Structure 1
Amino acid sequence: MAETNGVNGTAKSNGVNGHRGPQTVDLDALVVGAGFGGIYQLKKFRDMGLNVKAIDTAGDVGGTWYWNQYPGAMSDTEAYLYRYSWDADDLQSYPWDKHYVYQAEVLKYLQHVVERHDLRRDIILETTLTDAAWDDEASVWAVKTSGGRTFRVRYLVTALGLLSKQNFPNIRGIDSFQGEKYHTGAWPTGVSLQGKRVGVIGNGSTGVQVVTEIAKDVAKLVSFQRNPQYSVPSGQRAVDPEYRRRVNENYQEIWRQAKDESKTAFGFKENEDRPAMSVDAETRQELFETAWAKGGGFRFMFETFNDISTDEAANGQAAEFIKAKIRAKVKDPVKARKLMPTQLYARRPLCDAGYYEQFNRSNVEVVSLHETPIDEITPKGIRTSDGVEHELDVIIFATGFDAVDGNYTRIAIKGRDGVSLKEHWEPTGPTTFLGLSVTGFPNMFMILGPNGPFCNIPPAIETHVEFISDIVEAAEKGKQTSSTARNPIVEATAKSEALWTDECDRVSRESLFRKTDSWIFGANVPGKRHAVMFYFGGLAEYRTKLRKVAKNGWDGFSMG
């Protein structure tokens, strides 16, 4: 199976920009990854006049949206915010006809942006980072890639994505299955599931989308669920022209609010002053019903009340409301019981386009892995602990990712004194300053690195790219006025990294998300250290902190 975004893997390819012969290339900057983050970073650096290239393992741009072509793949952010804000003309004119965009539409949009801004000439595809080492004497990164090419660069930016390294469960007999096996994070083109017996392992966001999409087409669908999820309707529907006109007229204000007034940056105003228990039961039910009708997982959790993610009593009220909906939607009481969540409503909030209704189909089954765990995968299918062998033609692993830091710890990125990121993080789990920079790794920046903001992805990406560009520009200006020929050095201090890690830990203690075994804290991968992976203070507060760092002379960084 392939990995993504320019890091160790075998790409599926459309034949674009293949490998060239061994050579060494000197650049000002190299961007690893050509998804949302890498595309924007490439443009920003190029606009600054830097000699820059981007590399990616994939056969085309798109990052996550190139690899995750599984059935039903859809953004959980409304279309008007699942794009870039920096091209005002394109915001006004680029078409979107539904409230949520599907994978093919996101990929087409990113390809459009690359062509519109002539970025493809500086993107090298089918090229994988295999090793990166800091040369302290020359003040450059030596980056080795597949095919023998080495880049020597003054600045290295990783845009690897939050969800890139696929997580496969450790199930006995996994290699014995004689049918088809797919991970949703590396879905090949041309797969047909029509009339087949399909098992889906996993029921997070991806599993929910896959089940919803394929149930109508397959002969049999068995959903294997360890932790049943809470999911609310997405509200997916066609976009009314009047709605699009209003968005266009208010785009500047919409983006300002999302970035500088919102915690989640999903395009609505979060409730800040209404605890769930401050209203009577009837009013609470009405507010939940209104949010359910509007659709959107983050909207349901954060627009209704201000304490669903922090207070167990409030969380319990939201959970019971969703459970009642499950009972009403799923007609078979046995299936409904197996689909009933048992943990707090405290994972990334899901939304769907008719998920629970699929279990009313006679060809759709649900297996509770709490009641009957998977014993082994056999040549014919999956055998559970009750001795039942579920015979299948296809097994789909919707088992998620070794998220956030997974792609960093599996490759050799070595900073000062040859210390790798994996070694640097081994004692405590992943640590950074602001989710952007790591002490001991000068002139390396991360887009969506560990302990960045927990919020809507495109606004977070823009925030990171713009900060990285600004600090590099400041370093370059310092070089112009310096009397030495040495390359400028930008590096997070050990103190700032430690303080930021403590801040992320402190803020996350208030969140109920910390009490569930979620990928958000690394709990979905057996043996992985549970650690804080995000800043839970919200995007607006995070951006305020970044502005303060810049205003105070890049406080927390050593610049030299």
Structure 2
Amino acid sequence: MPTMMSDSAIGTEIKYDAIVIGAGFGGLYMLKTLRDELKLKVRVFDKAKDVGGTWYWNRYPGALSDTEAFTYCFSWDQDLLQEWDITTRYLTQPQILKYINHVADRHNLRQDIQFETVITAAEFDEESSRWLISTNDGRKYSAKYLVTALGLLSATNVPNINGIDQFKGELYHTANWPRDANLNGKRVGVIGTGSTGTQVVTAIAPVVGSLTVFQRSPQYMVPVGNGPVSKEYVDNIKRNYDSIWEQVKNSKVAFGFEESQIPTMSVSEAEREKIFQNAWDKGGGFRFMFETFSDIAIDEKANIAAQDFIRKKISEIVKDPETARKLTPRDLYAKRPLCDSGYYATFNRENVALVDVKANPIKEITVSGIRTEDGVDHELDVLIFATGFDAVDGNYKRINIRGRNGIAIQEHWKEGPSSYLSVATANFPNMFMILGPNGPFTNLPPTIETEVEWVSEIIAYMEEEKLSSMEPNIEAETLWSGTCREIADKTLFSKADSWIFGANIPGKPHTVYFYLGGLGAFREVLHDVRKDNYRGFKFETQNSSDKKNTLTKQMQKEDA
């Protein structure tokens, strides 16, 4: 078992066994595993003032997880699963942050976390096989292992709109929401109608003076179905948690329900309508897409049936026919499934207006609001950007990360981010990624646990075998990217413009960013790679003369 390094520093360079970037779900579990199980000396850095990651920053009104509460948590603390009080079907941002804070306190994690610190550079030193880390306070650190737990959705995306700097009102991004924001009675504009935008629009409409929603793409949405849960509901979950987690970890989307095996067109139109209606009444975006029928995401006829059902609901809910028309999507139902708390009905309010910026683009942001191409000035006191994130690799590009031969991560990923098994990338030895590129498109906590545990196992293996470094073969990484592309191309997701393929960022490569084969299949791949002596990785060790010998474990099978 690995031993802890001493507290000594080399000059101003403070040494650790492992440095972790990020104190959200991934960073906290990585810290606990490396520190408590592997007995390594670990330091976590985060730019925030406290734990929480994405949920620390996203404090906007209406912020809600669309994963049901009983699976939006850690499975590894079985006592906490029994102790934690589940009160609602879904969790709001304050509820999630309370849970994460409790985990940090319960396991004494804060003592090894350095808050309000930004990692500005990380460079792999080939002579020592260590990562050299620089922070914004001028300090220097080094570690054998660098683990990036940066989050999929954390690098904010602010669109480059002419005149943005001259707006004299309040300007907010939902991912950096100010604690003292006051919208009561104000004229508010919201740009963006993805998951975040629809949540914030629904939440603030009752309190603002007027609300203008600037919509680029209408969305398919179903109700979330949130609300209090009964004691019987909670008791049943806690009594069956072992089987629940077994199902989650072997399922596709890991949301805690059995995915349908029934093709859409295998039942009558009346039966389809009944199944869709039951899902609509129960709520949940992923449930609607994956629990109703087996082929909505892969068969266009099935997809059209789901489209038609949601379109009909929009026309029933929204009273003004022109507004309903603008809110009705006409493309594939093949983006991230969304759910809402009354978004469509919000447009029945007299103080809410919708602007279709595809038909009538934003010309500029003015001193007092937004001017559209038709010459109309939309006067605003507050402008909210709900424009999402430079997802997956956005935060990596904001750090000066350099691997072998000084190669920058931006250069390595110039054609789009890539990885081997989501957790590592060629030319960046001993750097492990939690939720790196081409990982499972799922409920995130079970995937985070899967990757943290696998990374911990490979680090333990390296320590036991006295290996100095590891990294994937470029061939293995290329094969994994090909596998992810092949699977994505079998779905309808690849045929829609979506952030999950990089389409929301101008100039960003439109490529595959996720493994769409499901969590269960992903776990099988990880198991097989580990069983086959970490197939696809190459390792280096030190001999008695301190000269490096390379031990290469080449990819043996193309289906890795």
- Do the two structures share a fold, i.e. TM-score over 0.5? yes
Task: Establish whether residue 275 from structure 1 lines up as the match of residue 260 from structure 2.
Answer: no
Residues 85, 255 of structure 1: 8 Å contact kept? yes
Aligned to 1:135: 125
Pairwise CA distance, 1:410: 2.7
2:98 and 2:246 mapped to 1: Cα distance? 26
2:170 and 2:352 mapped to 1: Cα distance? 19
Aligned to 2:369: 381
1:96 and 1:314 mapped to 2: Cα distance? 35
Task: Establish whether residue 554 from structure 1 lines up as the match of residue 522 from structure 2.
Answer: no
Aligned to 1:66: 56
1:204 and 1:525 mapped to 2: Cα distance? 14
CA displacement, residues 353-412 of structure 1 (integer Å, 9 cap, x when unaligned)? 111111110001111112211111111101111111110100000001110011112321
Which amino acid in 2 is paired with 1:502? G
SS across alignment from 2:144: strand
Aligned to 2:33: 44
Which amino acid in 2 is paired with 1:175? D
SS across alignment from 1:258: helix
Question: What does residue range 92-491 of structure 1 map to in structure 2 within 5 Å?
Answer: 92-260=82-250, 262-272=251-261, 274-426=262-414, 428-479=415-466, 488-491=468-471
Pairwise CA distance, 1:495: 1.2
Residues 64, 163 of structure 1: 8 Å contact kept? yes
2:299 and 2:500 mapped to 1: Cα distance? 19
1:342 and 1:379 mapped to 2: Cα distance? 35
Which amino acid in 1 is paired with 2:86? W
Task: Establish whether residue 531 from structure 1 lines up as the match of residue 541 from structure 2.
Answer: no
CA displacement, residues 403-440 of structure 1 (integer Å, 9 cap, x when unaligned)? 001111232100000001111111x3111001110111
Which amino acid in 1 is paired with 2:25? F
Aligned to 2:19: 30
Pairwise CA distance, 1:23: 3.6
CA displacement, residues 124-156 of structure 1 (integer Å, 9 cap, x when unaligned)? 000100000000000100010111111110000
Which amino acid in 1 is paired with 2:203? E
SS across alignment from 1:488: strand
CA displacement, residues 455-508 of structure 1 (integer Å, 9 cap, x when unaligned)? 1100010011000000000111101xxxxxxx5212111111011011001000
CA displacement, residues 201-224 of structure 1 (integer Å, 9 cap, x when unaligned)? 000000010011000000000111
Pairwise CA distance, 1:279: 1.4
Long gaps (5+) in structure 2: 1-10, 541-560
2:23 and 2:338 mapped to 1: Cα distance? 26
Pairwise CA distance, 1:529: 0.9
Residues 276, 284 of structure 1: 8 Å contact kept? yes
Residues 478, 488 of structure 1: 8 Å contact kept? no
Aligned to 1:483: none
2:19 and 2:346 mapped to 1: Cα distance? 46
CA displacement, residues 237-271 of structure 1 (integer Å, 9 cap, x when unaligned)? 101110000000001110110002x1000000111
2:410 and 2:297 mapped to 1: Cα distance? 31
SS across alignment from 1:109: helix
CA displacement, residues 104-128 of structure 1 (integer Å, 9 cap, x when unaligned)? 1111111100000011100000010
Pairwise CA distance, 1:348: 0.5
Residues 491, 558 of structure 1: 8 Å contact kept? yes
SS across alignment from 1:242: helix
Partner residue of 2:521 out of 532, 535, 541? 541
Which amino acid in 1 is paired with 2:447? A
Which amino acid in 2 is paired with 1:514? S
Pairwise CA distance, 1:188: 1.2
4+ residue segments displaced more than 3 Å: none
26-35 vs 331-340, greater mean Cα deviation: 331-340
Aligned to 1:15: none
Pairwise CA distance, 1:99: 0.5
Q: Identity percentage over the alignment?
A: 56
Residues 140, 153 of structure 1: 8 Å contact kept? yes
1:182 and 1:210 mapped to 2: Cα distance? 12
Aligned to 1:75: 65
Residues 174, 377 of structure 1: 8 Å contact kept? yes
Residues 166, 400 of structure 1: 8 Å contact kept? yes
Q: Give the structure-1-normalised TM-score.
A: 0.94
Which amino acid in 2 is paired with 1:449? G
Residues 410, 422 of structure 1: 8 Å contact kept? no
Task: Establish whether residue 498 from structure 1 lines up as the match of residue 497 from structure 2.
Answer: no
Q: Give the structure-2-normalised TM-score.
A: 0.94
1:282 and 1:342 mapped to 2: Cα distance? 23
2:385 and 2:329 mapped to 1: Cα distance? 20
SS across alignment from 1:406: coil
SS across alignment from 1:517: coil
Long gaps (5+) in structure 1: 1-21, 480-486
Which amino acid in 1 is paired with 2:363? D
Aligned to 1:520: 500
Pairwise CA distance, 1:85: 0.4
Pairwise CA distance, 1:515: 1.2
2:256 and 2:424 mapped to 1: Cα distance? 28
Pairwise CA distance, 1:294: 1.1
Task: Establish whether residue 510 from structure 1 lines up as the match of residue 500 from structure 2.
Answer: no
SS across alignment from 1:134: strand
How many residue pairs get matched? 529
